[in-house]
Structure 1
Amino acid sequence: MFRYFRSMQYALNGLIYALRTERNVQIWLGIAIITIGIAFWLEVSQTELLIILLWMFLIGVSEYLNTSIEKLADRVTMERDEQIKHVKDIAAGATFLASIGAIVTGLIIFVPKILEKFESTP
């Protein structure tokens, strides 16, 4: 049981460290908080909220993995290396791809609700 809690502590340390030091992780969290606020303001359904949360966490996970890959690659060498550049670009591409999916999903869910909200106001 103690090992489990120690593992959780290491994971929390990593989450907090990246949140304190990595600008993209901070941006992700800020956008996630704003998105949740908008979702509640627009009164999305439980299913829509679940989809939004899934995308939000997918982007967060990919951002954390991208950050860890970049840090590891920088530890291997700070010199220009074409293979490491490809690895970093691919990891960044994964985050970008998840972000595109989230944006498209967000538009599908939010735009009709925003239009509905403003059409119903006198």
Structure 2
Amino acid sequence: MIVTKTTGLARFYYATRYSIKGLRAAYRSEPAFRYELWAAALLLPLAFWLAQSGLQLGLLISSLLFVLIMELINTAIEAVVDRAGTEFHALAGLAKDLGSAAVLLALFVTALIWGGIAWDNFS
């Protein structure tokens, strides 16, 4: 059986739809993603106030998106591990812990970027 994939604008259209579907699923099913999304929405206007250059604004906004991206990856890891089985396995626990650690480090990076830019602009 030969499967043909869509190309061009049709591929972009379907890929965008799947991405939006994933964002909606994360928002509905993951409290951590909701919290981080709302925090990003609250911090976004502050980024425009805090930034004194386009580079600073890009860093502030990118750091917020970085946390959301890491949370999506963590959620995907958790979904795959949970799908694989309900019994405890050390590697399953490790995978979940590593995904969580990635989110934590993304939050640290965000705090460093925001703190560094605030330090530069107000000292």
Same fold (TM over 0.5): yes
Would you say 1:48 and 2:56 are equivalent positions? yes
1:14 to 3, 22, 41: 22
* Long gaps (5+) in structure 2: 1-8
Would you say 1:106 and 2:94 are equivalent positions? no
Report how far residue 111 of structure 1 moved: 4.6
Distance in 2 (CA, whole Å) between partners of 1:25 and 1:44 is 29
Q: Conserved in 1, the CA contact under 8 Å of 2:51 and 2:57?
A: no
Identity score, percent: 25
Q: Conserved in 1, the CA contact under 8 Å of 2:70 and 2:103?
A: yes
Greater relative contact order (Cα < 8 A, sep 6+): 1
When residues 94 and 43 of structure 1 are mapped into structure 2, their CA distance, relative to the original with a 3 A threshold, is closer
Tell me what 1:58 maps to. 66
How many pairs does the alignment contain?
115
Deviations 1:2-39 (Å, cap 9, x if unpaired)? Answer: 23211211111011111122111111111111211222
* Long gaps (5+) in structure 1: 117-122
TM-score (ref. length: structure 2): 0.83
TM-score (ref. length: structure 1): 0.84
Report how far residue 41 of structure 1 moved: 3.4
